[in-house]
Amino acid sequence: EAEVAQSPRYKITEKSQAVAFWCDPISGHATLYWYRQILGQGPELLVQFQDESVVDDSQLPKDRFSAERLKGVDSTLKIQPAELGDSAMYLCASSPGTAGIQYFGAGTRLSVL
Amino acid sequence: KNQVEQSPQSLIILEGKNCTLQCNYTVSPFSNLRWYKQDTGRGPVSLTIMTFSENTKSNGRYTATLDADTKQSSLHITASQLSDSASYICVVSGADMRFGAGTRLTVKP
C-alpha cells in the first residue's frame, strides 16, 4: 500500500540552528500539506501545495519557515533559525485533490534544545 | 476559539466496553467531516468521512454519526480492544479545514 514518506523520523537540534524536513507524497497526489502538531493538540496547517504552487501559507511563520515543492512531487520544509517553541511533530499529508481524504506520513519529531 | 470542539479530552475504558466520542463544530459552510485515529508517535489515519447528506457511516467496530442541523458528530467504538488506544481527531472541512484537539482514549485490560 502506498504511503507518504517523511524523513527524518526524529531530529534534535539546538536553537538558532537550521533544520529541514523532507516529504514524498503518494504518487499522483497533487495536493500536499505540512502540519505542525504540538503534543496534546490537533494538527495545525502550515502550508498547502497544489502541484508546485502554494495554495495556503497563511499560518506559516515566514520569518523563519519556508517550504517548497519545486517539481510538484516531493517537498521540503525548512526552519531557520530554530527556536525552543518549534519543538513539535511535523506531519506531511497528501491527497488526490483538495476535498478528499488526506493520507498522513509518520511525521518528524523535532526537539529544539 | 476553535471551531471544532471535542469531548471528552481523555477517556479510560476497560477492554471489551463500548465508548462514544463527541465532536461539535461551528464551521460554516460545511463540506465534510472526518474522523482520524492517531497512534502515539504516528500520523493520523482516516476512519470515516461524511458529507452533509450522510448521517451514519461504519468502519468495522467504528461508527460515526453526523447531525448537520445541530452540527454534532459522534464516533462510537464497539467492543473496544487494546489497540484502540490512540487519539481520535475530528476534522471539519468548509471553506478551509479545522482540526479538533482530539480525544485521548486509553483501553485497559
Residue A10 has pLDDT above 90, yes or no: yes
pLDDT value for B27: 86
pLDDT at residue B1 is higher than 70: no
Rounded CA gap, A29 and A48, in Å? Answer: 13
Cross-chain residue pair A43–B44, CB shorter than 8 Å: yes
Q: Is B42 on the interface with A (CB under 8 A)?
A: yes
Q: Across residues A16-45, what is the average pLDDT?
A: 94
CB-based contact B43 A45, cutoff 8 Å: no
Q: Which three cell numbers stand for residue B61?
A: 467496530
Pick the residue of B88, B99, B105 with the most A CBs within 10 A to test the interface with A by mutation: B99
Q: Which three cell numbers stand for residue A33?
A: 500539506
CB of A5 closer than 8 Å to CB of A96: no
Q: Find the closest chain B residue to A104 by CA distance.
A: B43
- The 3-state secondary structure of A33-85 reads EEEEECCCCCCEEEEEEECCEEEECCCCCCCCEEEECCCCCCEEEEECCCCHH
**Tens of pLDDT, residues B9-38:** 999 999 999 999 999 999 888 889 999 999
Chain A contact set for B42 (CB, 8 A): 106-107
Residue A101 has pLDDT above 90, yes or no: no
Q: In A, which residues are within 8 Å of B4 by CB distance?
A: 42
Decide: A112 and A30 in contact? Cβ < 8 Å.
no
Cβ–Cβ contact A57 with B under 8 A: no
Q: Do A42 and B42 touch (CB under 8 A)?
A: no
User: For A20-29, A84-93, A95-104, B48-57, which range has the lowest pLDDT when averaged over its residues?
Assistant: A95-104
CA of residue A85 relative to chain centroid, distance: 16
Comparing A89-93, B17-21, B37-41, the range with the smallest average pLDDT is B37-41
Q: Is the pLDDT of residue B82 over 90?
A: yes
pLDDT of residue A40: 84
How much of chain A is in helix, strand and coil states, percent to nearest 5? 5, 50, 50
